Amino acid sequence: MSTFKIKDPSEIGVAFLGVGRMGITHIRTLAGIPNVRVIAVADPNLEAAERGRAIVRADRAVASAEEAIHDPRVEAVVIVTPTTTHASLLELAVKAGKAVWSEKPIALNLTETQRIVDLVETTGIPVQLGFMRRFDPGYVMAKERIETGALGRIETFRALSRDTYPPALEFLKTSGGLFLDMAVHDLDLARFLVGEVREVQAWGSVLIDERFAQADDIDTAVTMLRFWNGALGVVETSRRSAWGYDIRTEVAGSTGKLVVEAPQKTPMVHSREFGFEADHYENFPDRFEIAFRRELEAFFGALTEGRTPTPGPTDALETLRLAVAATRSWREERPVRLDAVTAEIPV
- Other beta carbons within 10 Å of 60: 16
Under rule CB under 8 A, residue 153 binds a second copy: yes
Q: Which is nearer to a second copy, 144 or 344 (by Cβ)?
A: 144
Cβ 289 to a second copy, closest distance in Å?
A: 9
Binding range to a second copy, per CB under 8 A, among 23-31, 97-105, 112-120, 300-308 = 23-31
Q: Are 329 and 202 in contact (CB under 8 A)?
A: yes
- From residue 164 to residue 193, what is the string marking binding to a second copy with x (rule CB under 8 A)? ------------------------------
Segment 51 to 110, residues that bind a second copy, using CB under 8 A: 54-55, 57
Binding range to a second copy, per CB under 8 A, among 65-73, 83-91, 112-120, 153-161 = 153-161
Q: What's the distance, Cα to Cα, between the start and end of the chain in Å?
A: 34
Give strand pairing partners of 17. Answer: 42, 79
Under rule CB under 8 A, residue 340 binds a second copy: no
Q: Are 179 and 330 in contact (CB under 8 A)?
A: yes
Which amino acid does the sequence have at 29?
A: T
Which residues have CB under 8 Å from 20's CB, separation 6+? 48, 80
Which residues have CB under 8 Å from 306's CB, separation 6+? 5, 6
Q: Which is nearer to a second copy, 153 or 173 (by Cβ)?
A: 153
Under rule CB under 8 A, residue 233 binds a second copy: yes
Number of residues that bind a second copy (CB under 8 A): 80
From the list 315, 169, 146, the residue with the least C-alpha distance to 229 is 146
Cβ 21 to a second copy, closest distance in Å?
A: 15
From the list 333, 291, 326, 331, the residue with the least C-alpha distance to 133 is 291
Which residues have CB under 8 Å from 343's CB, separation 6+? none
CA distance 326 to 221: 10
Under rule CB under 8 A, residue 148 binds a second copy: no
Segment 262 to 301, residues that bind a second copy, using CB under 8 A: 262-280, 282
Under rule CB under 8 A, residue 257 binds a second copy: yes
Q: Which of 61, 62, 80, 258 is in the footprint of a second copy by CB under 8 A?
A: 258
Under rule CB under 8 A, residue 31 binds a second copy: yes
Q: Which is nearer to a second copy, 112 or 219 (by Cβ)?
A: 219
Under rule CB under 8 A, residue 46 binds a second copy: no
Under rule CB under 8 A, residue 337 binds a second copy: no
Q: Which is nearer to a second copy, 112 or 188 (by Cβ)?
A: 188
β pairing state of 99-102 and 127-129? parallel
Q: Are 221 and 204 in contact (CB under 8 A)?
A: yes
Under rule CB under 8 A, residue 161 binds a second copy: no
